[in-house]
Amino acid sequence: MDVVVAGSHGLIGSALVADLVARGDSVRRLVRRGTDPAADPAAGSTGPAAARPAGVRDVPWDPRVGELDPAALEGADAVVNLAGAGIGDHRWTAAYKQTLLGSRTTTTSLLARTIARSDTRPVLVNGSAIGAYGSRGDEVLTEASGRGDDFLAGLVEAWENATSPAAEAGARVVWLRSGVVLAPSRGALGKLLPILRLGLGGPLGSGHQWWSWIALRDEVAAIRHVVGADVHGPVNVVAPEPTTNRAVIRALAQALHRPALLPVPRAALRVALGEFASDLVASQRVVPGVLARTGYVWSHTNPQDAARWVTKEDEVSAPR
């Protein structure tokens, strides 16, 4: 398989590239050479800390000015676009909200337009998020559920709509509506795990909100799955059984042999994180209908098993 990856420096992108290389697939990374990913998160950049793995070819692009050689995508089976500024990297000021939006729509639009002009029209597997649904309490959310009306829902809508040129040209387009990605480092647990290891963590807010999560190794495997499956449009990339925040935190603490007795009040989260705190306490009971229907088999179906992998108690560290 020949795969082009945008956003290869991120948590999911770097794991995907490593997995594809390990399987003998051909990988092209879209990169801005010499650019710090933290300074230009939209571009899928490489810098001193992001050395090129063996077997990977780097292809230059500049989404800020719309530069991408169409030849960069020719012959590819799939383009996987995971580029975009980190949702939780900064407080959501008006300026950073624009960064979050622009870093997604400019990259996606450029890729979609380039695919539309391509003779081969590879499948576009585009990043997205369950933030599309907004906070919905106990409502069970499928790919057919309506959108929410908060900032993240609007962000995801614009992100997904930016793929339209590819779809209108006849390319297959998949939106990866990913849940909370559980990984041994970085991502949603990057700041939480060290606190839990000290025995100082606990549920976020009430802890009763639904957290639809996915282990990193399943996130990567699900991306491979949708490349080959006859699916298009939204795909909920989450574990088969949604779990409450309290249950996920408890599973992680138990795997670390630590208590998780100190809840973090919603007000404290708001002071520390600003508007982003609302995303952490949002309740999204999302089920993966498309993945289940097309035969995807999960490595981690419950938070206890995922927690053992995340904390390396089962000594499994690579995507399957």
Angle made by CA atoms 310, 314, 320, in degrees to the nearest 5? 75
Rounded Cα–Cα distance for residues 35 and 292 (Å): 39
- pLDDT of 193 reads 87
Task: State the average pLDDT over residues 282-305.
Answer: 96
Angle made by CA atoms 188, 194, 200, in degrees to the nearest 5? 105
Six-digit token pair at 9? 């420096």
Confidence check: pLDDT of 47 > 50:
no
Confidence check: pLDDT of 319 > 60:
no
Residue that is written with structure tokens 């098993």 in the block:
305
The three-state secondary structure class of 75 is: coil
Give the pLDDT confidence of 99-146 residue by residue, as tens digits: 999 999 999 999 999 999 998 899 999 999 999 999 999 999 999 999
Superfamily of domain 2-182+214-238+287-297: NAD(P)-binding Rossmann-like Domain (3.40.50.720)
Give the pLDDT confidence of 258-270 residue by residue, as tens digits: 988 888 877 877 7
- pLDDT of 43 reads 47
- pTM summary value: 0.90
